[in-house]
Chains A and B, each alone.
Chain A
């Protein structure tokens, strides 16, 4: 079936099997491999992208479900002037190690701050509950999100 999605500002159309997951559409069809897959139960959040501005786990959506929608992936975050403030904050706070959860974590954090402009550390911790990181113990991630929000 034909699926047409605006991805990082560009309309992308492709003929895919109806069962194609959004994450596989992004990775395998469009070659946007920054969005990672860490589980098969919608638990880890590595595949988080923005769908119409809100964070969504792209392993839990079919590509067909976002036909006509606006999707932002990690590749669409940095601009010509460099890293997005959230990416920059993750860098400066040492909020990543292996980096596998990072694209999803960053996208979830961007969405979180977009939703709550006055958020504290506990709010960040609860807000990122759906994104797992095995390396950092989260302390620096929380610090980075708070720093990006300032």
Chain B
């Protein structure tokens, strides 16, 4: 449990914290903010547990308190130690989920704006019997000191700049020389030939622990994917089928891409939080999930990294669209009597109408995607 949470519990001030700073949110605005949460949490009529627990009557609920939801150990423990969800504790949690209950499994970085927190609280309160009255949507907005400061700042709203200077050399002499430390901080990309790999190592077993803790919430314990989150494993021999499963094992050409991407952008909502060793371990575990390596004590490191080849590497070809018949001939297109018979409709969108707002779209999920 974090220090701030301990302090809160010790002081017994949780209820008092439900003061003006968190009150007076706007439930309608909260409904919009809640879209950030809705991928994992349901609330309202017929809400069920999804990736995260359902949130009806969350006010007054003990942390980790739903019997039919599998919480992280950290969250269950926080509840055993007395954490109850109130306006105050939910606010703290939403502002910094991993700081407030370290090692809990919610893969969400937190809501940066106090208004967003207050509005989500107001929205959630509409689904909670025990929510304090001043959290509700129709409470008059409290005047916040911050708002005053903001309007004062608006008077001189010219954006700050970082200045500019000239230097010797170059065509225009603009910019300054990047320091080695700066380049190292941002240049973390890795190529298939191993260029850019940092020192480090990690085993399949290490990777499994990290994966279960930080990745499985979206990708599933075995990389099978939860809901529409990416599937990481399996799918071999599906690439020519109607529904190809494009995973690291079935599709990705290079292992370096896994390392590079996890290191720069995962976990989703908490990027750059893994150590280089963690990333080696996770990469090893993804290899294991895809049967590219088979031993749990397999250790991936900078030294053996480029020895690993992914099965689908040879399937990638360069752009040859211009050889397709419709582009190759470049002929003048037909203008009259181009089809012998009157044209008939052979397919209609309404057969599978998944257009937003259409009758069936709540239940339907169409084919394809932007992925």
**B is bound to A:** no
**Chain B residues engaging chain A, CB cutoff 8 angstroms:** none
